[in-house]
Amino acid sequence: MDVDLEGPTGQPAALDDMMLGTSDDDAFRLQRATATYINKDERFRIEKRTYDNQYAQLYYCRLLKMAPRLKQRIEKQWPGVAVTKILDLPENQEVAVVGTLYKEMKLKPSILNEYNKERGIETLTGHTGFVSDDDSLVLEDESARMALRGIDAGQLVTGVVAAVRGVSVANGEFHVKDILFTGPQLQQPLLEATDGDKYVALVSGLSVGDEAGEPARVALLVDYLAGLLGSLPEQEQVAKVVRTVIAGGLLHSMEPLVQAAPQAKQRQQAAALVPIKDMDVCLTQLVGAMDVDVMAGATDPANHALPQQALHPCLLPGAVTFPTLHRVTNPHEFEVDGVTFLGTSGQNLEDIDRYSTETERLPMLERLLQWGHLVPTAPDTLTAYSFPDHDPFVIDAAPHVLFAGNQPAFATSLVEGPEGQKTRVVCIPKFSSSGTLVLVNLRTLKVQPITFDARMDI
């Protein structure tokens, strides 16, 4: 991992330390820093939904939007190579073709298998990983497909728009010499910070209601962000946190509620509601202290398909009374003091993990920036809304911070683009398993993981 972290790293803030430092006087003196905030979620919000559309439009819009970018790159990277459509492919001549990749995978689960006669025999063997050695790629442009050879399908996934350079041979296959993606798009310049360091806190996977979890740790987190914990220097730093973004995973699971049958016992129902109430209590405390963006995640009570819409207010009766609660979409894009953030609650990486040979999350996230697309595997293997006229997941401008929530471990890097773009890429670990919160410095784009440990044995 690129060591671009700031502050005291490696040493988890120990419980004792925080308990000791609690000093009411200091806390009252500290004023929380402020910053300008622009929400850019418009394109992820869907007011009126219809389900008459098929998915072809979404792919088509994606290709339409990204093809010109690729053509520009081809001019720069492969000067002199002609760009052609698949239908006009000349034989034995080197050309470039732009299209959407589709990965043929024999292990890819299909809903048709439900109907196969021999049910029960093909039990799901290992839920993750549908990758096999003979996975292959095809490239599809507006009107045709061709099989690609000489390219490793492993790390690529369906839905990525790419340009390939190579030669078409008689049997209709295309021998690839090189492949090109849009790369990071232009970036809005960072403003010169005038008032020192400010931070945005990124956290995900609180997993309220997880019986195996440590509720105390969530309480610590909230107290910490609210400035109720730690020694003075720490509180001073916390005061500079202008905003917290919860990148999904508030609840551990929404299964119990959905499963509770209508005739189920009153008590059972009440029990199922407890985590939601707990979540509201937590959030209420936090929004009392600062602005909080709440994104829904895979386990949260929001619609399943991407983009996930904001949580319904009835779920957070306490927190919604505060104007500092911002119920936002997943993916979520916003700007704080001119620093642009773009990220998801992690479903995109989760899905790529299943369908590619890449095992590390950070390179996956970096690759999204190269691919110029936030959720390439939607809608093929990741449920998404069938947008009729645009693809909101195309990354139009390289953000300053690209994040994904609910990741197995914390990881970060700084990716620099060819036009001097700099993007801080952050895998936000699941808080319930790592106890880690990530602070992003708006001035330097440096990050600082802060780990809480609430175990009493220390």
Q: Write down the H helix ranges in 288-360.
A: 347-355
**Binding segment toward other proteins, per CB under 8 A, in 8-16, 43-51, 229-237, 363-371:** 43-51
Instruction: Rule CB under 8 A: say whether 253 interacts with other proteins.
Output: no
Rounded Cα gap, residues 124 and 148, in angstroms: 30
Rounded Cα gap, residues 363 and 309, in angstroms: 27
Spell 12-32 as b/e; 16+ CB within 10 A means b.
bbebeebeebeeeeebeeeee
Instruction: Rule CB under 8 A: say whether 89 interacts with other proteins.
Output: yes
In this structure, are residues 287 and 324 in contact, taking their beta carbons and an 8 Å threshold?
A: yes
Rounded Cα gap, residues 41 and 328, in angstroms: 7
Site string for other proteins, 168-207 (x = CB under 8 A): x-xxxx----------------------------------
Secondary structure class of 340 (helix, strand, coil): strand
A 10 A CB-CB count for 261 gives 9
81 vs 273, which CB is nearer to other proteins? 273
Burial class, 124, CB count within 10 angstroms (exposed 0-12 / middle 13-18 / buried 19+): exposed
| Residue whose pair of structure tokens reads 């740790």 in the numeric block | 217
52 vs 389, which CB is nearer to other proteins? 52
Binder among 19, 186, 191, 258 for other proteins (CB under 8 A): 258
Binder among 155, 304, 416, 418 for other proteins (CB under 8 A): 304
The distance of closest approach from Cβ of residue 302 to other proteins in the complex, given in angstroms and rounded to an integer, is 7
31 vs 171, which CB is nearer to other proteins? 171
Instruction: Rule CB under 8 A: say whether 379 interacts with other proteins.
Output: yes
Instruction: Rule CB under 8 A: say whether 100 interacts with other proteins.
Output: yes
Q: 388-407: which residues touch other proteins (CB under 8 A)? A: none
A 10 A CB-CB count for 111 gives 6
Rounded Cα gap, residues 402 and 388, in angstroms: 26
Closest residue by Cα to residue 103 from 132, 62, 66: 132
99 vs 399, which CB is nearer to other proteins? 99
Binder among 247, 315, 439, 442 for other proteins (CB under 8 A): 315
User: Which tokens sit at 262?
Assistant: 């209508």
Rounded Cα gap, residues 445 and 36, in angstroms: 17
16 vs 389, which CB is nearer to other proteins? 389
234 vs 280, which CB is nearer to other proteins? 280
The distance of closest approach from Cβ of residue 268 to other proteins in the complex, given in angstroms and rounded to an integer, is 11
Instruction: Rule CB under 8 A: say whether 78 interacts with other proteins.
Output: no
Secondary structure class of 40 (helix, strand, coil): coil
In this structure, are residues 436 and 410 in contact, taking their beta carbons and an 8 Å threshold?
A: yes
Q: Write down the H helix ranges in 22-174.
A: 24-29, 56-77
The distance of closest approach from Cβ of residue 256 to other proteins in the complex, given in angstroms and rounded to an integer, is 10
Q: 409-428: which residues touch other proteins (CB under 8 A)? A: none
Rounded Cα gap, residues 206 and 420, in angstroms: 36
Binder among 1, 14, 38, 56 for other proteins (CB under 8 A): 56
The distance of closest approach from Cβ of residue 173 to other proteins in the complex, given in angstroms and rounded to an integer, is 8
Triad 115, 357, 428: Cα angle to 5°: 100
Binder among 6, 26, 94, 140 for other proteins (CB under 8 A): 140
280 vs 353, which CB is nearer to other proteins? 280
| Residue whose pair of structure tokens reads 């078409």 in the numeric block | 168
The distance of closest approach from Cβ of residue 246 to other proteins in the complex, given in angstroms and rounded to an integer, is 19
Binder among 81, 219, 226, 273 for other proteins (CB under 8 A): 273
The distance of closest approach from Cβ of residue 346 to other proteins in the complex, given in angstroms and rounded to an integer, is 17
Tell me, by CB under 8 A, how many residues bind other proteins. Answer: 65
Rounded Cα gap, residues 439 and 221, in angstroms: 13
A 10 A CB-CB count for 212 gives 8
Secondary structure class of 349 (helix, strand, coil): helix
28 vs 51, which CB is nearer to other proteins? 51
**Binding segment toward other proteins, per CB under 8 A, in 8-16, 286-294, 378-386, 425-433:** 378-386
Instruction: Rule CB under 8 A: say whether 120 interacts with other proteins.
Output: yes
Dihedral of CA 71/77/80/86: which sign? negative
Binder among 124, 212, 314, 458 for other proteins (CB under 8 A): 314
Binder among 269, 285, 357, 370 for other proteins (CB under 8 A): 269
Q: What is the DSSP letter of 274?
A: H
Residues that bind other proteins (CB under 8 A): 49-52, 54-57, 59-60, 63, 86-89, 100, 102, 110-112, 114-117, 119-120, 140-146, 159, 168, 170-173, 254, 257-258, 260, 262, 269, 272-273, 276, 301-305, 312-315, 320, 379-384, 386
